[in-house]
Structure 1
């Protein structure tokens, strides 16, 4: 394995550039962060006071707990410039040694409680605002839009709108109320996403374990990885990935618990007729059809993720600029002490190919 030097201090450009350099191949690709967010105040103004919003926020409060909300409010407020101001974003990217961000709306903008008319207004506004944000830095910022998972019949239209605006795809949560990603109602959406080559960024928001996780920020630290694992399992075991082998799904947070615990899924598929009824191959084989960001907060877990999915299936991710992300994504990647070719693949070469940046 190739040992890499310690990362440069974030924000100090007098330090050595954290981006390794080489003269050929993947080593010269840009550093690409596929997990970064934009906040769109206009979306929240649109839904303010509408029926359903208060109930959704009350559920969110129950799931997270009062202590978490007391921390999260000031945290987001402090980061609003980085979430909304392109110049501030670019300065932060420069300090991190990141050349390109794939920018998705804050998951708080999903609003899957909304009726069909409101949902259309939400996704149109979110897609327009994200496209406009990224257009201020062409080449450095690329965007993802939203679709209303609660209204599967509208998802294709929303996806086509996003792609038509120049966005590279859409961000989706792990489920909508009453619907898992295995729901047959989503088949037209998967079909169109496959046809267009759109990126689908799977980023959970909220966990259905509810009040069991309302202390110590378990709603995020346990809830998000659990939601990732459940959602990916629905895609795998239901046969969605068999029927749509060219889907381009990026799972946030390293795919949660699933990639490093996939052996249990393989055993169930082999040992039980009910577990193996929906998909054609061992569950672990589908990891190589998916993509995962590198945001796992542990170099050993990152190495295990790469071992399970392959170095060509992991992409740099930071969750910019939230506190559950990393301020130094390249340094976090370097800490895993990967072989040089794997390091550069994850740093940017994989994303450069997937997002068709060249």
Structure 2
């Protein structure tokens, strides 16, 4: 069965070399150490050798963390976005049998530049959408500054991948200075994703742009498991809030239940080999809103591990062949207008 991996990370050689040459902050230094130990991010021979294991399999690639906003000034963000986008476009053009496409890197610390780079990447380079993070230097993504960007992505029909982002500087408790035991990553990133989704809902982004295609990493994060709190819980929003705090629960006028907006989003299958988590995600979003994704190459094998385990999860779950085909390639093909593979089930 044809498989399109809809959320994979890469650092093309021109981008990697420039990234390694820059004087970056502590968070970017941490992530630079991580990416320097994963050969297939940069070495395509290694990457293609790993991909061969999975037969009829292609990837949609994006630039690996850290966000370009964390690398340097807005000028550096724009420079790195352009380097990354042109390098990814070249990889897709040279290896269509390996890469189904790429999503653009955009400098969100300059919203006007982000719109311009998105339009350049989609219209000139063939990008399928963009990847953004859950905040920009701690600023929320429901800020009115980003409205033109969301409008541009919605109008283009592109896929907007959402990746979490925080560092050990985000402490576990207010009395501490740093997060311990990588809690900032294991649980903090999932809170970031979930908070992003909620702010997008209550700020009315999907009310104004119902055609916006948001792909939430890691199976839609905490939302499927806490659907009772997201549904009946948020149906009571403000009912227990004191009058002097009413502004905390006053958002954009919504015409549907909050949970209905969460279900408008899409989830990937990047759950690191947990079949029960994947079942929960599919049950919440529905088969037609789940896209196969592995989050490669951040597994202990540095490339193929999460691809293999995610495929195994989808094979072991109680799904029909047609449902598996939807998740493996049908949904992303439909969403982005990609050509159907020869002989694919319909």
What is the TM-score of this pair, normalised by structure 1?
0.80
Question: What secondary structure sits across from 2:231 in the alignment?
Answer: helix
Which structure carries more relative contact order (alpha carbon 8 Å, separation 6+)?
A: 1
Partner of 1:302: 278
1:256-309 C-alpha deviation (Å, 9 max, x unpaired): 112321321333432134547433322221233211111123212211111111
Q: What corresponds to 1:144 in structure 2?
A: 103
Residues 33 and 98 in structure 1, CA contact (< 8 A), matched pair in contact too: no
Counterpart mapping for 1:161-310 below 5 A? 161-163=120-122, 164-207=124-167, 210-212=170-172, 214-273=179-238, 275=249, 277-278=251-252, 279-296=254-271, 297-310=273-286
CA 1:197–1:287: 2 relative to 1, 3 Å: same
* Displacement of 1:122: 1.2
Q: 3-state SS of the aligned residue for 1:264?
A: helix
- Count of residue pairs brought into register by the alignment: 316
Contact 2:69 2:136 in 1 (8 A): no
Q: 3-state SS of the aligned residue for 2:225?
A: helix
1:32 and 1:347 in contact (8 A); partners too? yes
User: Matched residues in 2 for 1:205 and 1:176: separation?
Assistant: 9
Deviation of the 1:45 alpha carbon: 4.4
Q: Is residue 330 from structure 1 mapped to residue 311 from structure 2 by the alignment?
A: yes
1:162-184 Cα deviation digits (max 9, x unpaired): 11211111111111024211111
2:334 pairs with 1:353: yes
**Does the aligned pair in 2 maintain the 1:86–1:137 contact within 8 Å?**
no
1:40 aligns with 2:15: no
SS of alignment partner, residue 108 of structure 1 = coil
Matched, 1:94 2:52: yes
Task: Report Cα offsets for 1:11-64 as digits up to 9, x if no partner.
Answer: xxxxxxxx4xxxxxxxxxx2111111111353354456767x235447xx5xxx
Gapped runs of 5+ residues in structure 1?
1-18, 20-29, 62-68
One of 58, 73, 77 as aligned partner of 1:115: 73
Which secondary structure state, in structure 2, belongs to the residue aligned with residue 210 of structure 1?
coil
Cα 1:218/1:335, change in 2 over 3 Å: farther
- Counterpart of 2:242? none
Per-residue CA deviation, residues 40-93 of structure 1 (Å, 9 max, x unaligned), is 353354456767x235447xx5xxxxxxx8xx94x644531x222334323322
Q: From the superposition, tell whether residues 48 and 107 of structure 1 become closer, same or farther in structure 2 (CA, over 3 Å).
A: closer
* SS state at 1:322 partner: coil
Q: How does 1:16-31 map to 2 (within 5 A)?
A: 19=1, 30-31=2-3
Contact 2:157/2:336 (CA < 8 Å) preserved in 1?
A: no
- C-alpha separation in 1, matches of 2:84 and 2:209: 27
Query: What's the offset of the Cα at 1:215?
Result: 3.6
> Could you tell me whether the CA contact under 8 Å between 1:43 and 1:109 is conserved in 2?
no
